[in-house]
Amino acid sequence: MKAYQAYLIDLDGTLYKGDEPIDGAKQFISYLNQQRIPHLYVTNNSTKEPKDVVSKLQTMGIEAKEEEVITSALATAEYITELTPGASVFMLGGTGLSKALTDKGLVLKEDEHVDYVVIGLDEQVTYDKLATATLGVRNGAKFISTNQDVSIPKERGFLPGNGAITSVVSVSTGTQPIFIGKPQTIIMDMALDILNMDLSDVAMVGDLYDTDIMSGINANIDTIHVQTGVTTKSEIEQKDIAPTYSFKDLNEVINELEK
């Protein structure tokens, strides 16, 4: 296996499952920190702030910094700001998204007369919120969704994800949003710009083929699949475009890097 100069790393299914760390996660990040190899955590989760992600990792003994965390909320705020600084936004979502937007100087409004409608995972979503979002898009607001994940793993099982919520507005308006998170290149471009390295020196590490691995493929970087989450080894073998590597877990990745 090639030793890369930097890594983009998924979280859920790669470093942990729910609140439980995955064997090899702490060791892999410790290896990167000891070798001073740059790495960023790239997540589609728009509900959490970077400090929340760091706090969770630290409870698992994984050392991380806020500036190493790239969420779909941060990428969304960056994307809108580059196009329309100071824009008005109606959003569905949690504190991670609202803070990311306001920190960039974007103005949150509670009506449909806005420049942008942004959909993030909102576990308190209501018909009225969906109605306002729908009217905003019909009024000409640019339509953005933090990610297209149709389901998310929870303790009760797979529950509706942001893509499912977004689809309500899409179906009602006949308008498809711009998706920001993995496997789209917008969030990956932001992460790669931060690393500022040759694409051949960077690899994407993740468990889920449709988001993590495809995000790397779409960004033209190598991919490292770990068999600790959603996509199994047998499923990977059926894909038309295979990841660059597939390993049982991050312990195997470390072993390869130390050869």
For the stretch 95-110, pLDDT in tens is 999 999 999 999 999 9
User: What pLDDT, on a 0 to 100 scale, did the predictor assign at position 210?
Assistant: 94
Give the per-residue pLDDT at 167.
97
Q: What is the pLDDT of residues 125-153, one digit of tens each?
A: 999 999 999 999 999 999 999 999 988 76
Task: Give, for 88, the enclosing helix (H) or strand (E).
Answer: strand 88-92
Give residue 97's pLDDT. Answer: 97
Residue 9, pLDDT > 70, answer: yes
pTM score, whole prediction: 0.94
Is the pLDDT at 229 greater than 90? The verdict is no
Please check the confidence at residue 30 and state whether its pLDDT lies above 80: yes
For residue 121, pLDDT over 80 is answered with: yes
Residue 158 pLDDT more than 80?
Answer: no
- Please provide residue 154's backbone torsions phi and psi, each rounded to the nearest 5 degrees: -130, 175
Residue 17 binned pLDDT confidence (cut-offs 50, 70, 90)? confident
Phi-psi region of 16 (alpha: psi -120 to 50; beta: other; left: phi over 0): beta
Q: How confident is the model at residue 230 (pLDDT cuts 50, 70, 90)?
A: confident
Assigned superfamily of 6-44+182-257:
HAD superfamily/HAD-like (3.40.50.1000)
Please write the tens of the pLDDT for every residue from 210-222.
Answer: 999 999 999 999 9
Pairing of strands 157-160, 202-206: unpaired
pLDDT at 155 over 70: no
CATH number attached to the domain at 83-179: 3.40.50.1000
Distance CA 218, CA 215 (A): 5
Q: What value does the mean pLDDT take over residues 68-81? A: 98
Same topology between domain 6-44+182-257 and domain 83-179: yes
Q: What is the residue extent of each domain of the chain?
A: 6-44+182-257, 83-179
Task: State residue 89 phi and psi, 5-degree precision.
Answer: -140, 135
Give me the pLDDT at residue 157, please: 75
What would the mean pLDDT of 8-12 be, rounded to a whole number? 95
pLDDT value at 165 more than 70: yes
Per-residue model confidence (pLDDT) at position 204: 98
Confidence of residue 62 (pLDDT cuts 50, 70, 90): very high
CA distance 241 to 217: 9
Task: Output the average pLDDT for the chain.
Answer: 95
Rounded Cα distance between 77 and 84, Å, is: 10
What's the whole-number mean pLDDT along residues 146-165?
Answer: 85
Q: Rounded to whole angstroms, how far apart are CA atoms 161 and 182?
A: 14
